[in-house]
Chain A
Amino acid sequence: MTITGDPAQRPSRTSHVPNEGTAEAAAIERARRDMLNDARPRRRTRIGADVVCEALIRQGVDVFFGYPGGVILPLYDVLADYPELRHVLVRHEQGGAHAADGYARVTGRVGVCMGTSGPGATNLVTGIGTALLDSIPMVAITGNVPGALIGKDAFQEIDINGITLPMTKHNYLVRDANELPRVFAEAFHIARTGRPGPVHIDITKDALQQETHAEHPSDEEVVAGLPGFRPNVEGHPRQLKLAVGEIGRAKRPMILAGHGVLHARAWEDLQAFAEKTQIPVAHTLLGIGAMPEDHPLSYGYMGMHGWKHVNRAIQSADLLVAIGMRFDDRVTGNVRTYAPYARIVHVDIDPAEIGKNVAVEVPIVGDAGRVLRALLPMVDAVDPAVRAAYFEELAAWRRESEAGSWHGSGAWRDGYLSADYVVSRIGVLTDHRATYVGDVGQNQMWLARYAGFQLPNSHVSSGGLGTMGFCVPAAMGAALGAPERETWAITGDGGFQMTFQELMTLVQDEIPVKIALFDNKKLGMIRQWQEIIYAGNYHSAHLLGPDYLKLAEAFGIPGRKAAAPEEVDEAIRWAQGVDGPALVWFEIAEEQNVFPMMPAGKGLSDLIEKWGGADE
């Protein structure tokens, strides 16, 4: 057959659709048409998007963080019908995920974030990963292309279900609106039950638009529908008895309190248990706040940049009672040399955490609160006098290590602004009763060490994943979650420059976050590692930054600078007085290190406390 110039002579072709005439082809045609023409009729029926809103309200969600896009628009189309739901329009989906995370950390409730398909979904991924590693209850919602277009590389289509599969507690792809009530009920149940974690729900656009009469399941129906999800919350009586025996025999016991204590809201149980048994409490980075730091039995923060006295106590302990922590490498260092004299009682709600990083003598699978409440009547009350020698030694170690801290730092003596000093002043001037949100790196360690935490869930920090850029967006969520407390975002110039677009969200949604920006014009922790571990071979550690006052001004946020120790208090008080968000630019010493430091691969007894001349 020859093709001639005359169109009439060409062979006829009715369509370019593959498999023309089949049901599949018709569905694709319909989906393509619907992508362009989807305004809902004035008088409308209940559609998938309504089910999503109803489910969020049923789960007690009052605020969530999202960013619209093509396939999630059906949901935004109905949002105005649900005034109970406050939607915060973020500037980047990553910010939305971190905000949901920050909200969840201060409230203990499930944080919700939302994005569209493709780039909207992939932008959420860092925030979901952050939530997974820190066991944060979160539900992330994404739209996806209409079901018939899945797998066709449609506009903004990516296999987000495949991407989030290894980094969520569970995930769903919903293609039928009738499944939405069950899926949402399950997702919230899974996210907050047992060891919390993020759950991702991907919903096709046609499911959001599909009419449905499906009813929301009861709590019992949800549990019955998840036979593979029955977390064990009660400690086994035999194991509890073994633990009581260990505790009774121990002469130098130490409690290691982790994030699990906060997840279980068991801070009072922890305190009661520690007081009855007279066991000092050390805490992990995420366990900060499990016990007020001014409590006589609170001993301090452990690990790579933890207090020397705490690590020393762990190394000499004969019993570690680990509660809701997972012996992360930042906590143990080299496991071979970790706590060499200690037997270990390990309480965790996730059986997979037990025996994962260290071998333990008494494993107890259960919820930290329930286990502590069960143990309390079983243990003998200990007279503090029995431990007098032990406590005296601990107190001496503590005095020594605290005296060698920022008071002696060279930066401080030379009139430079020392970051640890700023953190401690923020702690004091907020009466230790604000929410303190850290970023990642040196600022995170200074915050953990020097703010002086008194309240549970007042410390928000990306521990497991170590996500730079976490601070400002997480503080946004934290401020909305705990509006009765002041919220301080304590960030370095590196992390700040990753996500400061959310400053605009703070303004638009009137979220009164106070930002303490620690500017050393460096990626400080990178610089510190390069100085100490890579023989001073600095590369990419120096970081140019903008004029942060002009930057804040451009966003409409009042800003102020402090570059000398005597300006610190006034600047903090000024920020506290601002009605709304405020930024304080602290120009800190450029080459200050965080000490002590345990080099990676070394043990808790190998802390570096000084280096070169700068900090001597």
Chain B
Amino acid sequence: MSDAAATPAAASAQAATPATPTTPAAAPAHAAPPARSLPGGGAQHRHVIVAIVNNRPGVLNRVSSLMRARNFNIESLAVSHTDAPDVSRMTITLRGDDVLVEQATKQLYRLIDVLKVQDLTADPTVEQELALVKVRVADANRAEVIKVVELYRARVVDVSEGSVIVEVTGTEAEVDALVALLRGFGIKELVRTGTVVMSRGSGSIEEATKR
């Protein structure tokens, strides 16, 4: 009944009856029955899901089509091969409450090509994202841009008369922070890979997938 107090009617029902639903016989005749809690409705936060999938044509389409059809909003999606050539790894970040993400996980498992899904949100992980930012510069502020870039342990990988390309690696938040700063100089182009994540320690989702 975590969110039973969300509506005024439910709130008054809560006051009149015990927190646990009781049988009609035990409930006061005048009291409205307590509202049933809906699945979900909990605190929204960012989740990182890793899916190990068959490396076959169309699998990315299956996953993205499912997420769209089931109304899950993907924030980022990164796909690559794993060490096994027939298996790919997807890192999906999405926003929602725990129930929604559990549903997404279960729905992913319904796909025949999905071998293993793990929600790594709560686990200790290494999380990285790479971004390339083409920043507008003039002679006057080039040095300033480079200073900011160095401060963030990013690097300049291309320099031309009117712009520099900055490469930055870090968590989504770290990349966000640098991008926000660079926006002050003027961003001509921005590309981000999406987050990739790996759990710390010796455990391996890939090994856990092997049969």
Which residues of A line the B interface, CB within 8 A? 161-162, 165-166, 169-170, 173, 190, 226-229, 251-252, 316, 318, 335-343, 350-352, 355-359
> Is there contact, CB below 8 Å, between B106 and A351?
yes
Interface residue from B65, B99, B112 paired with A229 (Cβ < 8 Å) = B112
Interface residue from A228, A316, A356 paired with B54 (Cβ < 8 Å) = A228
> Is there contact, CB below 8 Å, between B65 and A337?
no
- What is the distance, in angstroms, from B88's C-beta to the closest C-beta of chain A? 12
> A335-B38, A337-B35 given. 14 additional CB < 8 A pairs?
A165-B58, A173-B58, A190-B112, A226-B112, A227-B115, A337-B36, A338-B36, A341-B33, A343-B21, A351-B106, A352-B103, A352-B109, A356-B103, A359-B36
**Contact A166 to B111, CB < 8 A, known contacts A335-B38, A359-B37:** no
- What is the distance, in angstroms, from A454's C-beta to the closest C-beta of chain B? 33
Question: Is B22 an interface residue when CB atoms closer than 8 A count as contact?
Answer: yes
> Is there contact, CB below 8 Å, between A316 and B24?
yes
> Is there contact, CB below 8 Å, between B36 and A228?
no
Q: Label chain A's interface by main secondary structure.
A: loop
**Contact A351 to B109, CB < 8 A, known contacts A227-B115, A228-B115, A341-B24:** yes
**Contact A356 to B39, CB < 8 A, known contacts A165-B65, A166-B69:** yes
- What is the distance, in angstroms, from A16's C-beta to the closest C-beta of chain B? 30
Question: Is B23 an interface residue when CB atoms closer than 8 A count as contact?
Answer: yes
Question: Is B155 an interface residue when CB atoms closer than 8 A count as contact?
Answer: no
> Is there contact, CB below 8 Å, between B109 and A337?
no
Complex Cα distance A11/B131, Å? 52
Which residues of B line the A interface, CB within 8 A? 7, 10, 21-24, 27, 33-39, 53-54, 58, 61-62, 65-66, 69, 99, 102-103, 106-107, 109-115, 209, 211
> Is there contact, CB below 8 Å, between A341 and B22?
yes
CB<8 Å pairs between A and B, sample of 11: A162-B61, A165-B65, A190-B112, A226-B112, A229-B112, A336-B35, A337-B33, A340-B21, A352-B109, A356-B39, A356-B103
> Is there contact, CB below 8 Å, between B61 and A165?
yes
> Is there contact, CB below 8 Å, between B112 and A357?
no
Complex Cα distance A522/B168, Å? 66
User: Cβ of B107: which chain A residues have Cβ within 8 Å of it?
Assistant: 352
> Is there contact, CB below 8 Å, between B21 and A228?
no
> Is there contact, CB below 8 Å, between A336 and B36?
yes
> Is there contact, CB below 8 Å, between B58 and A318?
no
Q: From A340, which residue of chain B is reached at the shortest CB distance?
A: B33
> Is there contact, CB below 8 Å, between B38 and A359?
yes
Q: Give me the 3 closest cross-chain CB pairs, A-B, nearest first.
A: A340-B33, A352-B106, A170-B112
> Is there contact, CB below 8 Å, between B58 and A161?
yes
**Contact A340 to B66, CB < 8 A, known contacts A228-B113, A229-B112, A350-B110:** no
Complex Cα distance A345/B24, Å? 20
Q: From A170, which residue of chain B is reached at the shortest CB distance?
A: B112
Q: From A338, which residue of chain B is reached at the shortest CB distance?
A: B36
User: Cβ of A357: which chain B residues have Cβ within 8 Å of it?
Assistant: 39
User: Cβ of B21: which chain A residues have Cβ within 8 Å of it?
Assistant: 318, 340-343
Complex Cα distance A341/B26, Å? 11
Complex Cα distance A352/B66, Å? 13
Complex Cα distance A170/B112, Å? 7
Interface residue from A251, A340, A351, A352 paired with B36 (Cβ < 8 Å) = A340
User: Cβ of B66: which chain A residues have Cβ within 8 Å of it?
Assistant: 166
User: Cβ of B10: which chain A residues have Cβ within 8 Å of it?
Assistant: 336
- What is the distance, in angstroms, from B209's C-beta to the closest C-beta of chain A? 8
Interface residue from B34, B36, B106 paired with A358 (Cβ < 8 Å) = B36
**Contact A341 to B23, CB < 8 A, known contacts A170-B112, A352-B110:** yes
- What is the distance, in angstroms, from A566's C-beta to the closest C-beta of chain B? 45
User: Cβ of B111: which chain A residues have Cβ within 8 Å of it?
Assistant: 170, 228
> Is there contact, CB below 8 Å, between B58 and A355?
no
Complex Cα distance A472/B29, Å? 50
Of A162, A341, A343, most buried by chain B (CB within 10 Å of CB) is: A341
User: Cβ of A342: which chain B residues have Cβ within 8 Å of it?
Assistant: 21
Complex Cα distance A170/B33, Å? 43
User: Cβ of B39: which chain A residues have Cβ within 8 Å of it?
Assistant: 355-359
Q: From B61, which residue of chain A is reached at the shortest CB distance?
A: A165
Complex Cα distance A337/B37, Å? 9
- What is the distance, in angstroms, from A201's C-beta to the closest C-beta of chain B? 13
User: Cβ of B58: which chain A residues have Cβ within 8 Å of it?
Assistant: 161, 165, 173
> Is there contact, CB below 8 Å, between A228 and B114?
yes
Complex Cα distance A358/B39, Å? 6
- What is the distance, in angstroms, from B154's C-beta to the closest C-beta of chain A? 39
Complex Cα distance A335/B38, Å? 7
> Is there contact, CB below 8 Å, between A252 and B23?
yes
Q: From B24, which residue of chain A is reached at the shortest CB distance?
A: A316
> Is there contact, CB below 8 Å, between B24 and A228?
no
- What is the distance, in angstroms, from A130's C-beta to the closest C-beta of chain B? 17
User: Cβ of B113: which chain A residues have Cβ within 8 Å of it?
Assistant: 228
Q: From A356, which residue of chain B is reached at the shortest CB distance?
A: B103
User: Cβ of B38: which chain A residues have Cβ within 8 Å of it?
Assistant: 335-336, 358-359
> Is there contact, CB below 8 Å, between A165 and B62?
yes
Q: From B33, which residue of chain A is reached at the shortest CB distance?
A: A340
- What is the distance, in angstroms, from B55's C-beta to the closest C-beta of chain A? 12
Complex Cα distance A166/B61, Å? 10
Interface residue from A169, A227, A335, A355 paired with B99 (Cβ < 8 Å) = A355
- What is the distance, in angstroms, from B5's C-beta to the closest C-beta of chain A? 12
Complex Cα distance A173/B56, Å? 12
User: Cβ of A316: which chain B residues have Cβ within 8 Å of it?
Assistant: 23-24
- What is the distance, in angstroms, from B114's C-beta to the closest C-beta of chain A? 5
Complex Cα distance A359/B38, Å? 6
Complex Cα distance A90/B39, Å? 44
User: Cβ of A228: which chain B residues have Cβ within 8 Å of it?
Assistant: 53-54, 111-115
- What is the distance, in angstroms, from A494's C-beta to the closest C-beta of chain B? 28
Q: From B210, which residue of chain A is reached at the shortest CB distance?
A: A227
Q: From A327, which residue of chain B is reached at the shortest CB distance?
A: B39
Complex Cα distance A65/B59, Å? 30
- What is the distance, in angstroms, from B196's C-beta to the closest C-beta of chain A? 22
